[in-house]
Structure 1
Amino acid sequence: MSIQLDMILEQMKAQKQSFHEDFDVENLRQTAQMSAQIPPEKDVDFAEILLGSRNTDMAIPSKPREDAVIMYIHGGGFVSGNPKYVRSFTSFLAKKSRMKVYGITYRMAPEYQFPAGPNDCLEAYEALTQMLPDKKIIVLGESAGATYVIVTALMARDKNIRLPDAVVAYAPCGDITGRIDRAEYKDTDPVIGYNALDKIRNLYCPEDADDPYASICLADYKGFPPIRIVWDAGEVLSPDSREIANKAEKAGVYVEAKEWKNTFHTFELLGAMLPEAVEEINDTVHFINNCI
């Protein structure tokens, strides 16, 4: 464990979990904005474009590759976040991969419930495939965004839209039905409380939790593109990642699964600030390059 990680974990343990069972959406949204105070990487520019109807924040490294791009979907429990808030991460990803990173926006709960978010992600993805028909496209996201990159690939497959060339999912939420007993993680996840998913379900998808686009642990992964799934062993969502990885492997999908220990939910977002995040992003870029 790096000194930086140890310090961060001590700070997190001294605070209340971001997603506790009584979290307030507006407070969560305000807290998410604070991430924008972390400066982006140097030598990475930004541009704002539309993909379909979706506002998109594009990170552009110096001398980007011409053969491949990344579509990034942010997390935030389906209720908060914006790609502009995590430019420090998208710029680091762009710099490491030498690819343009298209950070999309989507409608969020509770104002817009399922399936608004997945539909927005698919719209943006399809627009990107049409805009860049000759380029490889990787979809990458964390937490709720990791759920959405998997849903995007599932929906693309089911609608006969060109599949992503690779999928990277950092700690997806795979089940909101309540089927998974998460009590054993109540003292091991400093970010998400083990009862928080009940509130997330009520805000995001109160009626269709068993839809495989809502609870992706229930999906059929036959014909799915190569996927890298990453999670921490002690986080509340770790059973989700394990189940998705197992189902995809049994369906014949190429799967890279990495379980970290003693990190935390979506630690990758700290990018250059955290040695463990740098290592994971380097491994992610290696996976992507092997797929394209």
Structure 2
Amino acid sequence: MSPGTDGTLHVPARDIPLPTTVSRAARAMMTMVQALPAAKVPPAQDLDAWRAFVSRRGDSPEVTRGMALACSGFVDTGVKAEVEEIQDAGAIVYAATPEGLASDAEQVYLHVHGGAWVDGGGPAGRLGAVFAAGSLGRRVWGVDYRMPPEHPFPAGLDDCVAAYRALLRDHHPASIAVGGISAGGNLVAGMLLRLHDEGLPMPAAAVLNSPVADLIQAGDSWRTCPAPQDLGEHVRLYAGGHDLREPYLSPLFGEIPPGYPPTILISGTRDFLLSDTVRMHRALRTAGCRADLHVFEGAPHGMFSGQAPEDHQQVAEVRRFLDEVWKDSQS
């Protein structure tokens, strides 16, 4: 390892073993994921190739379940949920109510799935809402937002804002929490800026699980923990020609507004979005907001797809945080 004259650190090629400091299940999941062939990502301008790319996975129950776990950030608790498709929310919304929930429960979680802006919707989004409801023990609204290549920015963000507006018809903002993972975290952070700009009340809490907060990819971990595929093409496809520094696209370039809700942020030491997450955490702390940061040992982007004890620990932290904030908002 040697420094260059410009401060660049030249690291010799080396093998990085699996961490011994994580669970056996986590190591098994990492081994399986690393053995998968890398997907060839089309150029952003080739929309036909992207249409083929987003339809490549199929819709088998196994694929749907795996996608729902990977793109929701939650786990399968085995809790069943009744799912209703909301017809007048301004977007496709799956309302999942977990079994055993008290009929007078007021709290609701607006969930925005991840998937690099092109995956995680449809049946996977519906099942992801079920996993979120079972994990949190609360009613969940899962937004099946519009995605590229047919619907680039700001269509997905518009859908999230529309769903939040619909929630406000029947819910006090103090009973609402919002959250998302990866691209979903990006949409949630952008949505919170939009809520302020449009004069809408802020929710009680937010969950930013490994959010994409800076689309120009300036953060250090973009280089120290390389992404599994070229997300630059995903970014350009989603942005649709807009300036990547626009705050609704890259929330780190925006100003944290007054009244920003208490926020929990999640990442891992092998997450290529660790820098985006910790920079967002620092921006919130600098603005005087409550922001709780949890970085999990050895965890790659998205943790371990709901298959390891660490995933359950992460979900328990989110549930504890939301329960605490909701309790404080009622006192």
Which bin holds the TM-score, normalised by the shorter protein?
0.7 to 0.9
- TM-score normalised by the chain length of structure 2: 0.78
Structural mapping, 1:1-292, within 5 Å: 1-17=22-38, 25=50, 26-31=52-57, 33=59, 34-37=62-65, 41-65=78-102, 66-82=105-121, 84-86=123-125, 89-133=128-172, 136-180=175-219, 182-186=222-226, 192-193=228-229, 196-205=230-239, 206-223=241-258, 224-267=260-303, 269-270=305-306, 273-292=307-326
AA partner of residue 256 (structure 2)? Y
* Cα distance, 1:92 vs structure 2: 3.6
Which structure: larger Rg? 2
Given residue 183 of structure 1, which amino acid in structure 2 is its aligned partner? R
How many residues are matched? 284
* Alignment partners' CA distance in 2, 1:89 and 1:207: 30
Q: Helix, strand or coil for the counterpart of 1:160? A: coil
Question: Per the alignment, do residues 110 and 157 of structure 1 end up closer, same or farther by CA in structure 2, a change over 3 Å counting?
Answer: same
Indicate how the Cα distance of structure 1 residues 152 and 35 shifts in structure 2: closer, same or farther if over 3 A, else same. Answer: farther
State the one-letter code of the partner of 1:220. E
Instruction: State the 1:267 CA deviation.
Output: 2.6
> Would the aligned equivalents of 2:90 and 2:166 in 1 still touch at CA under 8 Å?
no
Alpha carbons 1:5, 1:274 under 8 Å: kept = yes
**Offset at residue 17 of structure 1 (A):** 4.2
Q: Shift in Å at residue 118 of structure 1?
A: 0.9
**CA displacement at 1:16 relative to structure 2:** 3.1
Report if aligned partners of 1:51, 1:128 keep a CA contact under 8 Å in 2.
Answer: no
- What SS does structure 2 have at the residue aligned with 1:31? coil
The secondary structure found in structure 2 opposite 1:267 is: coil
Once the 2 structures are TM-superposed, how far is the Cα of residue 88 of structure 1 from its aligned partner?
Answer: 5.2
Partners of 1:83 and 1:284 in 2: how far apart? 25
Unaligned runs of 5+ residues in structure 1 are none
1:90 shift after superposition: 3.2
Residue type at the aligned position of 2:231: L
Q: CA deviation at 1:262?
A: 1.3
Letter in 2 for 1:184: T
